[in-house]
Amino acid sequence: MREYIPCLDNVEAIKKLKSTDKGEQFERHCPGKEKELNCLVPPPKDYKTPITWPKSRDEVWFSNVPHTRLVEDKGGQNWIKRDKDKFKFPGGGTQFIHGADQYLDQISKMVPDISFGRHTRVVLDVGCGVASFGAFLFSRNVTTLSIAPKDVHENQIQFALERGVPAMVAAFATHRLLYPSQAFDLIIAQDVELIGSVMVSSLLWLR
């Protein structure tokens, strides 16, 4: 049952999709009423009580999120590394290899009006990776909702949740997210490929 998400791993519903050209397979497909009990998923074997904040910003138990592929694929970008029975997060990422904190300082210098913690209090991070951006924004009095699909890099959102960052598994495909327009002061997408999707979805929010 590890990494099983009933509404996303609904193979029966995914097989019935007419098309997957827009990423429909990454969207939610909730089980019918007769299978609602399937939504109750037990914790995986060897799951430990999560490390508490603020220590969890920098490390989580390996047994709680035993993903090795992300370390192999993203280790060189300073995202994440394994240290014995823990995963540790140096604070890096695709766009901030020297650390999320330094990246936030650079943003503040380039766009002073962004004023984290004053003008900018609620942020949406699309394609969040292991959620270092949101994790480091906490210290600047900013709450970040981190979202990412369940894709080839396994469930990255589980890293965010283990770290104590608000997060949800979601994809920009055929349905808008359940948030009104102007709900966020800032929307950020670390992956260039996501920017077009985010812009289109943002326009849909404004309708």
Question: Which residues fall within 8 angstroms of residue 204, CB to CB, at 6 or more apart?
Answer: 176
Q: What is the pLDDT of residue 83?
A: 92
> Residue 60: phi, psi to the nearest 5?
-140, 165
Question: Which residues fall within 8 angstroms of residue 159, CB to CB, at 6 or more apart?
Answer: 60, 65, 67, 70, 80, 87, 130, 131
Q: What is the pLDDT of residue 177?
A: 79
Q: What is the pLDDT of residue 94?
A: 58
Buried b (16+ CB within 10 A) or exposed e, 76-97: eebbbebeeebbebbbbbeebe
Q: What is the pLDDT of residue 19?
A: 85
Burial bucket for residue 8 (CB in 10 Å: 0-12, 13-18, 19+): buried
Question: What CATH number was assigned to the domain covering residues 49-205?
Answer: 3.40.50
Q: What is the pLDDT of residue 193?
A: 55
Cα–Cα nearest to 143, from 123, 158, 126: 123
Burial bucket for residue 201 (CB in 10 Å: 0-12, 13-18, 19+): middle
Buried b (16+ CB within 10 A) or exposed e, 136-174: bbbeeebebbbbbbbeeebbbbbbbbbbbbebebbbbbe
pLDDT string in tens for the chain (207-residue length): 566 777 777 788 888 888 888 777 778 778 777 777 667 777 778 899 999 999 999 999 999 988 887 777 766 667 788 899 999 988 666 567 677 888 899 999 999 999 999 999 999 998 888 888 899 999 999 999 999 887 665 668 889 999 999 998 887 776 777 888 889 999 888 665 555 554 444 444 433
Q: What is the pLDDT of residue 203?
A: 41
| Two tokens, residue 125 | 């991070």
Cα–Cα nearest to 24, from 36, 8, 35: 8
Q: What is the pLDDT of residue 59?
A: 96
Grouping H, G, I as helix, E, B as strand and the rest as coil, residue 161 is helix
Please give the model's pTM, rounded to 2 decimal places: 0.77
Q: Could you state, in order of their start, the residue ranges of all structural domains in the chain?
A: 1-42, 49-205
